[in-house]
Amino acid sequence: MKKQELKEFLDAKVAEYNHPRFIESDPIQIPHQFSIKKDIEIAGFLTATISWGNRKSIITNANKMMVLLDHSPFDFVKNHTTDDLEKLRPFVHRTFNEDDFIQFIKSLNHIYKNHCGLEAVFSKHSENFSTQNAIHQFKKDFFEIEHLPRTQKHVSDPLKNSAAKRINMLISSIYTAD
Single pTM value for the model: 0.83
Q: What is the pLDDT of residue 166?
A: 79
Grouping H, G, I as helix, E, B as strand and the rest as coil, residue 130 is: strand
41 backbone dihedrals φ, ψ, rounded to 5°:
-70, -35
Angle between the N-to-C axes of helices 37-49 and 98-114, in degrees from 0 to 180, rounded to the nearest 10:
140
How much is the pLDDT for 11?
A: 87
Quote the pLDDT of residue 174.
Answer: 64
Domain boundaries, the chain: 3-175
At residue 178, the pLDDT reads 46
Burial 72-88 (b: 16+ CB within 10 A, else e): bbbebbeebeeeebeeb
- pLDDT by residue for the chain (178 residues), tens digit each? 788 888 888 888 888 777 777 777 788 889 989 999 999 999 999 999 999 888 999 999 999 999 999 999 999 999 999 999 999 999 999 999 999 999 999 999 999 999 999 988 888 877 766 778 888 889 999 999 999 999 999 988 777 877 777 777 777 666 654 4
pLDDT of residue 92: 92
* 18: CB partners within 8 A, 6+ apart: 177
For residue 81, the model assigns a pLDDT of 96
Which residues 6+ apart lie within 8 Å of 119 measured at CB? 37, 41, 174, 175
